[in-house]
Amino acid sequence: MIIGQITHIKDYASLVPNLEKGLEAIKNSESLAVGKYLFDGGYYLIQEGITKSFKEGTFEAHRNYIDVQIIVKGSEEIAWLDYDQLKSIVPYDELTDKERLIGPTSHSMLIKEGMFWIAFLSDGHLAVSHTDKPYSYRKIVLKLPINTGG
């Protein structure tokens, strides 16, 4: 997992296929309304809402897409754990590229406006969460296929 300030996101372009294409698609978008948007090299989601307690959520992991999540407004806490340290509770669904897992949330961090995080295939992540008090958030989630063919 990579966590950083949005001003440094392009530093990771060599590690993340189609990252630059995704950032360009967002920059050139006419609308950043909540929804799903396709571009040549993946897709992105605009999401907003209120975080839930870590106790209410489950980890997720992917097999085909790298997640790049950019906090545009507000905050969220995320928890991370290596995939091999988690226990599957909902089997992998190829259609959603998602498996649901459980494990301790002891590795967590507050992600604020102007920050991003990248979850690779081995990164179990529990996002849109909080420890003590809820946060409101608005974020962009880039879904970038590991197969650079798009």
Q: What pLDDT is attached to residue 73?
A: 97
- What pLDDT is stored for residue 150 in this prediction? 43
Annotated domain spans of the chain: 2-27+35-145
Question: Digits of tens for pLDDT over the chain (150 positions)?
Answer: 999 999 999 999 999 999 999 999 999 988 789 999 999 999 999 999 999 999 999 999 999 999 999 999 999 999 999 999 999 999 999 999 999 999 999 999 999 999 999 999 999 999 999 999 999 999 999 999 997 444
CATH superfamily, with its number, for domain 2-27+35-145: YhcH/YjgK/YiaL (2.60.120.370)
pTM for this model (two decimals): 0.94
Specify the pLDDT at position 96. Answer: 95
Closest CA to 120 of 75, 85, 69: 69
3-state secondary structure the chain: CEEEEHHHHHHHCCCCCCHHHHHHHHHCCCCCCCEEEEECCEEEEEEEEECEEHHHCCEEECCCEEEEEEEEEEEEEEEEEEHHHCEEEEEEECCCCEEEEECCCCCEEEEECCEEEEECCCEEEEEEEECCCCCEEEEEEEEEECCCCC
Q: How far apart are CA 118 and CA 148, in angstroms?
A: 17
